[in-house]
Structure 1
């Protein structure tokens, strides 16, 4: 007779659905009495990840409402991440953090002027994210972008006046008066030195330009099973799966110029060349 795992929270989940969980990558779905999912997650090891949920005391409420667990296998981790993001947006599970498509994103653009580098807040209505160079950070509002600049000013002793966050005064910016500015506003610091410190502070948040001339397929393979995830300008367009037939493209969502969630998933594997990329025939 099987011995129950004492670390597993008490539940009423169908044992057959638990036994069927694979040790492979993909998406898993906690289902309750209703038609909508309670929770959607992804893992490189579906079974192991689901069991960790069942051992988490702070997830007891979700587990108590669960009656079965479904899953969708993928050929790799990128496919699982893209599928999870799409399904959460489409189905809004009760226990997931809501993912919403932000209609207008903002970024910080640096402009070279006769005086020096001047940051400007731009939005996705005025610039093409993913194809415009010298953009930094991706924000849900201009207010958030300005808050980021203020944080950088405090951390790196930058001038609020030079950054355009405060009106210029003969007495210098507020930061100069409280010794959090090195004096670029009153000529006490060389402007070029100030600007280089600003650029260094921004570099980690630079928005990568789409490195291809058009759409590409990201190829993942497992045991002869091939999935091709079509992407253009950091936007996930859909997946072609060898199990569904060579001509069928499983659609994701309508194409957008730029998709923040897809960008976060794809930027590292693409820029670090950790995923196989194939050009799409015109």
Structure 2
């Protein structure tokens, strides 16, 4: 061990603070917090049976240690979280948050309110609306909405569409909406009763909801209104079926998060389960490669990052006591606005929930074990084979998608520690290039991307562009123009559309490097090549999906634009009247004539156009 480094450790203060471990290149590779800086950092260098892995790691990876002293442990915990976000150190466990959580919003100030999906940033102020959630994922909230719309005939259209409709949509025809938009005989009071039922459903008060529905069904039966009674009966059946699918795991009707932890060698998994009103509503596992940090410190850091943007429940159950739990409780309670409890249950129902989370963490670890074991080798091989200056922990890749220069788009994706970090995904619609010019498009996307302050302040270790030497040189010119010199730069060439040729070349791909005439050919079985292909293919997928979305959107209006006599105003009138292009295409001449200022000749022209063309694009 370097004597100068050991001397520096011995001279650390005994106060609370944050320490930053750096490699030989001066790059921060680990950030940690401590109640007493000297004792904490010194503990890493003890060659005991429990931390020999840490000592070996320090000897080969750490050349210097800096520190920032703080007045309190609470300040150290907050500073640690900020520095992890700033430096993105290789050996910290990093929770990839999207700064928001998903909820359902209901604005009761409107006469016919609707549910909408919202992503609330941390600390967002409520605006007088009712909020339900947060949900564990966008998928979970969409599934909830699907159940609600099939069970309760409330409107799903946006306020803009609702205000412009003068005839009901398909959902009215199939009985999944009451058609309030088109002036159907539905009173606000009747609609509000439906909304009250939806609120009970979302609050988990299903027994009360069923009681109200049964009473309503009996009333309709006494009035001999059997059709309405049957609709209510079907609603009761749907609610009861939903209850059967929900797993009640806690007798306490609280919001609880449970964490499981599993570690083996250098890798680990953290599983979180979400209980809302006593029901298990979702969960997710995160896997990491992290050879350095003791489990209590590691889990404490993860919780501090995770609850920096995620919903904070009333109670949090952990498998073991984390470092600085009292300070963490104080911080989380401040963020929540009410008291938060962190518990380490030892028996009973709560302990069983923690054991269940631990079991799921182990299964997540085993599922991802191959990737966890190969990831460090992938990075090391990549750095060695391509002679990179940086260990490529953060890799950013760019791709262009266009057809003959039309609706051209570009994408940027980022992987950190071998996994996608979608908060850094970006997509760009090409603005300055109007013909098939891949070089010009790539130049525009790179310049727009790296001119963003948030991106420029958090550069990747490696930038990869999809293409050959031409794309590589364009990328170099743009980075030079922006004075960005820290990241390594490569291009990966693939004949993506020629599968036969790809098979003949045995899957070989060419990696072009600056200052080297010939490309590097990585073995098709190379873990490093697999990582590059995975990232490049994700950039391609992201670009293609955006390109497709734009083409579909433009296609909505291209048919109307091709009809003589249809300008922007008439096009808007048609869409407002019918609601969609499909409805316009299905309309009769008489129905088309009902649109304001549309004469019979033009109505016939529109009818002939759609019935003489097979497609709508």
- TM-score using structure 1 length: 0.46
Q: Which has the higher helix share?
A: 2
Q: Which has the higher contact order (CA 8 A, sep 6+)?
A: 1
Q: Which has the higher strand share?
A: 1
- TM-score using structure 2 length: 0.23
